[in-house]
Amino acid sequence: GPGTADVYLAAQNATAGAADVLAVQDALDQAFFGNGTVDQLVRAFPAPTVSQAVAATIYVRGTTAQVLTPVLDAAWASFLVEVPVGGFDLSPGPDHTIPRGMIIAALADSDPNILAVDVTVPAADVTVPPTSKVLDGGATFTVVVLAQA
């Protein structure tokens, strides 16, 4: 209600556990005057989670699918760690989103042998619920090795 705030907590690759939520709530209770169990002004909650998959065709030269696939998997996992609870706020533009272009850039920048990235999933920018942590919904990468020029 008015004059209150909810704090949603998440780890890098998961929502916050019960012990973490209790520890944060205890710290909030001590930090905010009148934040007792009867009239909490600030409350801690584990962030709900949503899964996001990625599928992409990656065009490369000078490497192999066997070498590149683990690099792409790591780049996707690293990117998801950087997505804040509720998605990115790109004010004055959209907020609560993961721009598809950011996914493409994260994959393209993962190896200098990548020439192009065609992401098919997601097909558009991803809307993230305001209090949710985005987790890995699976990654499918098709690596197309082009002949040397």
The arithmetic mean of pLDDT across residues 58-67, rounded, is 97
Contacts 24+ apart (CB under 8 A), 95-100: 96/127, 96/128, 96/129, 96/130, 97/125, 97/126, 97/127, 97/128, 98/52, 98/122, 98/125, 98/126, 98/128, 98/134, 99/125, 100/124, 100/125, 100/126
Average pLDDT, the chain: 93
3-state class (DSSP) for residue 50: strand
Residue 32 has pLDDT above 80, yes or no: no
Read off the pLDDT band of 37 (50, 70, 90).
low
Q: Could you give the CA distance from residue 129 to residue 123 in angstroms, rounded to a whole number? A: 18
pTM: 0.88
Q: pLDDT per residue over 69-119, tens digit each?
A: 999 999 999 999 999 999 999 989 889 999 999 999 999 999 999 999 999
Residue 133 has pLDDT above 70, yes or no: yes
Neighbours of 145 (CB within 10 A): 15
Note the pLDDT of residue 94: 87
Read off the pLDDT band of 34 (50, 70, 90).
low
Least confident of 2-16, 29-43, 78-92: 29-43
Note the pLDDT of residue 5: 87
